[in-house]
Structure 1
Amino acid sequence: MTGSAVVVPLAPRLQPGRFLVPDVARGVAIMAMLVAHAGPIMAQQPAATLFLQGQLNDVASPLFATTMGAAAAIVLAKAGTASAQRTVIVQNVIRGAILVLLGLLLATWGSWIAIVLSFLGIVLAIGTPLVLLGTRALIAVLAAVLVIGAPLNELMLAATGPLITVGERTPASFLLEWLFLSPHYRVTNLLPWFLFGALLFRIRFGGRRAGWILLALSVPAWWLGPLWRVATGEEFSPSGSYLDTLHDAGLVLGVLGVIMLLASLRGRRTAAVVRAVFLPFEAIGSLSLSLYVFQVAVVGWMSANGIRFGTTDPVAWVVLVIGVPIVGILWWRFVGKGPIEWLIGVLSGRYRLRRPVRVGSEP
């Protein structure tokens, strides 16, 4: 007697019990990236929206790195035993390597986006073992990287900068660019945010008090840069400098503070409203890598079809800023886990493919 075959789906649906704050923050980071990446096709816009676009551009990557650190801390905590934690570290090193390769691939797709995945991949590989440090040691490492990051970037740029601008690119030149020399992102400036995300997990992403503290810190951090420029006459703060990091801190702490405060609100009606506001961010945050790859593909297609950097195309802007998130929300609602998240999970050993299970009686 022959039995019927039951196939277990390859893409598992989202699991319950996720932490709300990092998922929402990750969704905010993705939305900020989309607005920033759509900016070049809205060259003609009011000064107010141009200013907002600049702030969203600045907050996106450090906020995303913060959520990566939080995710690493969550997975390591769930692992429990030392052996299981070592497995998580190996898996994240593999995931980091995949992100580096994926970043290199996306850079060939013809978009105007400065791809951040290679930088984040190295941060993930370096940062995950550090998450196992005690709280005081983790704070000390975070502070040390913050202090030495800016002068080290300048020193390495003076010493090795020509390696990324003169002659044929080599693996060493790419590594130096990712670590110190890129004008857009650097591991030295993203790693502290990764470690900060791990620290946030240790207070379980705070609550009302932590939210107010972060907001109180964000205001002077954000304002110090403009005040310094007014006092000194400087036009801007170089990317990766102390003032630039303070500016990013003001934005990241402000966003996290608001999310924590909203998440701490009680009352049936209030909680329902907050949940409705959070839901789309939670949705796109849970499949952020897939949406990142998707938006690069969309921008590459736009660029290949005449929608270029520096033009003004409101329809293309709407496609990127509204259309891409809607695709992500619908995927999250009807499918579940993002395809890139699932694929990286399989390749790193975090997820295992299940073979079809045949159900039936023995002959």
Structure 2
Amino acid sequence: MKFSRSVGAFEVPHTATALLLGVNIVVYALVLQRSGTSVPSSAALFRSGAIYSGALARHEYWRLVAYAFLHVSMLHILTNMACLVWWGGPLEKRIGTAYFLLIYFASVIAGALFGIFTSPGLYLSVGASAGISGILGALLCLKLLKRIDLPASFFVINLGLNVLVAFIGRVDWRAHLGGILAGMVVCAVIDAFEVTGPKLMRCKFPEFVKLNLGILFAVVAWLTDFSPVAMLLVLAVLIVAVKGIDVALSLPRGLALTVAMLAAGNALVMGAVVILTLPETTGDILLPANLVPWAASSLRSLIEAAAAVPVITTLIVVVAVLGLTPLVYWPELTRGLNDRGGFVAASFRAERGRRRGL
């Protein structure tokens, strides 16, 4: 989390912004190759995850996210990625990677739902516009809350362009509007949480903890097929986990204990992923064979071999994740192990007390 109260009008893309940029470009190239034409075909876009009117009725919830990585033309992806870099840089610098991704994907989902429920007829949409509009909405929220000092002209120009683009025939203005509103709301909720943080939490969470917990929550939500009852249970477990980590971080060597807790959580969830998904792969394994036939064939053989011994495969995955997580977080682990006097823990508590809002 960056502590400065101001951001520039342009920032070099940070981790999440650069990652989203790269994934969108790679996906566009894959869909283009699958289409076999100069622009992605409608059939390829639909198979790859375009959101449409009947997606919710058919429980195809994965489309609520997948559609945001698809684009209909080179101009479409270039304009969206330009806005992602222009708006995403300052927002990610200001609020950190974890909150940035939360706002982005909440806006993506909100844009899809807003389009489905407000469209009078057949609805079919692709593009990152909802998530990118959510970034702009979050920046506007921070401006209204006086958390940043971006000039008013920045918002007049960019919001004006959003309104202007909405009048273009094939542009999904519903995704734009839903994304902007979601970005503002989610940003305001996060800010309210940060304001009340000292009353609810002892410590300020490091960025890697927030990212890890967010990924675990998303994976478990996917495993439960976003069932409302299951989601409430998952949310309750997440709240307990967050408070447990909060207590751990306040203790001497608590950062090392936190890494251990995350390693256990990662291993447990990945083990569940293998157990629940591996049996399904024994049927039709959908891999881009036309892209790299030798790699697709090798991967298919590997998956089939793993599915033949699910217990051993699960154990291998669990042990691997248990070992890899501490390696990925090695600097944090060593810092925690060396915190005999509790100085790191004290810094986390002091940081929570100093901050009021984003």
Q: TM-score under structure 2 normalisation?
A: 0.33
Higher relative contact order (Cα pairs below 8 Å, separated by 6+ residues): 1
